[in-house]
A = this chain, B = another copy of it.
Amino acid sequence: MNNDFSSALKKSGLRKTKHRTAVLGVLDGSARPVAAEDVYLSLKEDGVSINLSTVYRVLDTLASSGLVTRLSIAGEPRSLFEINTMEHRHYLVCVGCNKIECIEGCPLKAYEKTLEKQTRYAIAGHRLDIYGYCPECRDKGRGAK
C-alpha cells in the first residue's frame, strides 16, 4: 500500500523514475480517465517539471506493461488513461457536460458466449460506453451546453 508504486513498477520490469511515479500519482488521484495533456497540466500545477512528450512516453510505457489502461470514447478525439484496476469496467458519459463516470458490473457475459457460437469468433473482449444526460443536465432543459 505504499504510494510510490515501486512494487508495481518493479513487477513490470520498469525502472522507478520521478516521472513515472508522478504520472501514476495523477492517474491514481483521478476518479475519471484523463488525457495526456491533463496529466501534464496537473503535474505542472504540482510544480513537477516534465515534458509533454515524456508524458506520452510514460503513459505509453505504462499502458504497454498493463499498469495503465488506454481508452477512447466517442466525441473525444484524444486517448484517455486510467490506472488499470484489473476490473472490467464501463463508462457512462454525459452528453450535456461531458462528465465521465464508471459503471459497476457488466451486462454482456452471457451475450459474448452466444456470439461466439453464432460467429465462430474467439471473443477477446468488448468496449461499451453508455451515453446520456446526467441528473443535473437532464434537469436544466435539454442538457444545453
Contacts and interface: CB of A to CB of B under 8 A. Distances in A.
A133 B108 CA distance: 18
Copies of this protein in the complex:
2
A132 B124 contact: yes
Given A72-B72, A74-B72, A123 B115 contact: no
Contacts of A103: 115, 119
A119 B92 contact: yes
A10 interface: no
A125 interface: yes
Contact of A74 (B71, B112, B120, B143): B71
Interface string A79-94: 0000000000000101
Contacts of A132: 116, 121-125
